[in-house]
Amino acid sequence: MRTVAFAALISLGALSAPAFAEDLVFELINNSSVNLQNLYVSPSDTDTWGEDILGVEILASGEVGTVTIADGLATCAYDLLFVTDTGTEVTSSQDLCVLNTFTLND
């Protein structure tokens, strides 16, 4: 099992963050039978997705990655869009302030 680290610097224009905002970090476990090609994350109260966190990396089936969201926001509610290498899209909404791991299953 290979561990991969990903970081997201989500750009949301002119939004300012309180001084107590911290990076959100969680382990992403790909427990599905397909490779994860893209991961997009955005605060739940926005209508647009951030940049692809994985970039050129792929999180293969059975791999674990560390995801860091360093957007400077003091929000916990995020939407996640997973895109597999077969083109399947899966969305989820999570409170990332309490999430230590997220497991992607079939």
Domains and CATH numbers, the chain: 3-11+21-104 (2.60.40.2890)
Side chain identity, residue 31: N
Pairing, β 64-69 against β 3-8 = parallel
Segment 65-92, tens digit of pLDDT: 999 888 888 888 999 999 999 999 999 9
Q: CA 106, CA 103: separation in Å to the nearest integer?
A: 10
Q: CA 78, CA 99: separation in Å to the nearest integer?
A: 11
Neighbours of 82 (CB within 10 A): 23
Task: Pick 20 or 104 by higher pLDDT.
Answer: 104
Q: Is the pLDDT of residue 8 over 60?
A: no
